[in-house]
Chain A
Amino acid sequence: MSKQLLKGNVAFAEAAIRAGCEAYFGYPITPQTELLEHMSRRMIELNRVFLQAESEVAAINMVYGAAASGVRVMTSSSSPGISLMQEGFSYIAGSEVPAVIIDVMRGGPGLGNIQPSQSDYNQVTKTAGHGDFHPIVLAPANVQEAIDLTVLAFDLADKYLTLVFVVADGAIGQMMEPAELPPMRDLPFERPSWALTGAFNRKRNLVNSLYMGVEGLEALNLKLQAKLAQIQRDEVRYETQFVEDAEVVLVAFGTAARVAQTAVQRLRRQGLKVGLFRPITLWPFPEAALAEVADKSKALLVVEMNAGQMLHDVRQVAGIHKPVKFLGRIGGRIPLPEEVEHETEALLAQLAVAV
């Protein structure tokens, strides 16, 4: 395989296909529609399932049905559509079936706009639906990572029988970059033993999130919590740059992290001790790794394309004594490297005065 110029949304779709996605159900919404369009052609060519649903609500419930049947299944949407799908997320989590969701985020609240945003951080990491659950949330910062994390998403979904999100802002969905696609995987010959395939020569299978008794629902929740704890232990992913001697560490994910990286590189060339911490899993949040970095630094600067959503997780890790500043642009704006540099320099200056 060699690199080719790929649009983020197309890369998501083709990566899913190569990871063995057998069924896709979706609904058009900007800025992810090219993903659905790619699926509409390729899935049919490959004799797999593609269906444009009547709504996001229907799409996620179709995903639920296919997931209950034991195939690799996915949907994609953008922020307002993700809000509509929350009902299905909760049922999928409660039923412990695997599914992959791509969220190409846009500005909110309400209809907001179609510009790039990281407006869904809270929604996907903390409030993806009613009840006690968290999806695994992966955040790519470029098209290659969009491909790699989509493949990983299917593997994690199967491994933990859980929902896995890949969240990108509209910029990653819309931009083109050189990237390499993985080889096409063979589809599995058999369905999992718990899947709905008809009770032929076996006891019937049931996929369900309803437990009327207190004991049953408590037992399910304890099982879910144990699974979440295992994911928190084993599936944390992040990247660091120049953090070893950094006085100020920038914390950012996705496109905001690329902007922050540019700022860090420029400031390093000026001899300033700054670094970058980039969560790749937004849930589980890389708490221990960030705490270690925070301990060694004098201050943190969180950069986001929202009003400060990951900021709360960073503050919780850093504690009340560590200065944590925030630079966010909202309404679909992407912060400029110069803004980030300026804010970082100001913070370094403050720290120098404080000493």
Chain B
Amino acid sequence: MDTVVFKQNHVQPLEKITYERPSSLSDVHTHYCPGCTHGTAHRIVAEVLDELGIREDTILVSSVGCSVFSYNYFDVDACEAAHGRAPAMATGVKRVNPDKIVFTYQGDGDLASIGTAEIIHAAARGEKITVIFVNNAIYGMTGGQMAPTSLIGQKTTSSPFGRDAQLAGLPIHMAELLAQLPGTVYSVRRSLHDARHVLQAKKAIRTAFEAQIDGLGFSVVELLSSCPTNWGMTPNEALCWVEDQMVPFYPLGDYKVDERLQNRKGAKK
């Protein structure tokens, strides 16, 4: 079913190679499960690094969770932070490399649970870093436990009766939350559930990096993502679940776009 989803956007003449590996991606196999959208997220981030010509100036701060190995897949200088601390580590990297591009790649357990202090204060300081926030509403690496972003009623290995708001509270909307902080110049939510939304996500990632290149402040792109393995679904069912269950609860949209980004040369009105 994946092929059906992507087919329409990628019909090209056969004699021309149109789908090469971005130079910002390493030529290796990934450990991600079949149907997982991390691969898609990696690819569009790498395409943006290529298109902006910043691969050799970019430093990745990888996080803990399924994306812990993202440093194996991005062909950039990289380090691996402790769980939730990527924004703090990125702050250290950026402050002593102010002319470099520094980004974190974090999941929802990492960013929205154990790392809330670090992400909030990095945003509050207007830290000139870019955060790629992959929200798949579950702890993937540890085998499918409830995340701060798990939906009400969602069954996980640590909420076997479904997430109960009385017991576990309500899910956190990070893109909206981070948009409240004055240091944030760009905070948006996109989804990776079909090709159209992937292209929109890529455009947002580009803007987020441009915000950093311009030295404006903190930028974050939340990407609604699928986890077929831990959701117990086929890849296509999982993409449908993103669209049908996650998107209504986590509305896609721009929660903060600094006017300097809106007025940026070439920006779409």
Contact = CB atoms under 8 A, between A and B. Distances in A.
Interface of A: 22-23, 25, 49, 51, 53-55, 57-59, 61-69, 71, 73, 87-88, 91, 95, 196-201, 204-210
A69 B58 CA distance: 12
> What DSSP secondary structure best describes chain A's contact surface?
mixed
Nearest to B99: A198
Which 9 pairs, one residue from A and one from B, show the smallest C-beta to C-beta distance? A65-B92, A61-B88, A62-B92, A54-B121, A65-B89, A61-B85, A66-B92, A65-B93, A207-B79
Contacts of A65: 61, 79, 81, 88-96
B100 A62 contact: no
B96 A22 contact: yes
A49 B95 contact: yes
Interface stretch (B70-78, B146-154, B215-223, B244-252): B70-78
A214 B117 CA distance: 33
Given A204-B77, A208-B79, 17 more contacts: A22-B96, A51-B95, A54-B118, A58-B117, A61-B82, A61-B89, A62-B88, A64-B92, A65-B79, A65-B89, A200-B56, A201-B56, A205-B77, A206-B71, A207-B79, A207-B80, A208-B80
Given A58-B118, A198-B56, A206-B71, A23 B92 contact: yes
Interface of B: 55-59, 61, 68, 71, 75-82, 85, 88-97, 100-101, 117-118, 120-121
23 contacts: A23-B92, A23-B95, A25-B92, A57-B118, A61-B88, A61-B89, A65-B91, A65-B93, A66-B93, A66-B95, A68-B79, A68-B92, A68-B93, A69-B97, A198-B97, A198-B100, A199-B77, A200-B57, A205-B77, A206-B71, A206-B78, A207-B78, A207-B79
**Residue from A54, A61, A69 with most neighbouring chain B CB atoms (10 Å):** A61
B91 A62 contact: yes
A201 B79 CA distance: 19
- Give the residue among B68, B76, B80 with the most A Cβ atoms within 10 A: B80
B92 A61 contact: yes
Contacts of B56: 198-201
Contacts of A88: 82, 85
Nearest to B74: A204
Given A87-B82, A198-B56, A198-B77, A57 B117 contact: yes
Contacts of B71: 206, 208
B52 to A, nearest CB: 13
B79 A53 contact: no
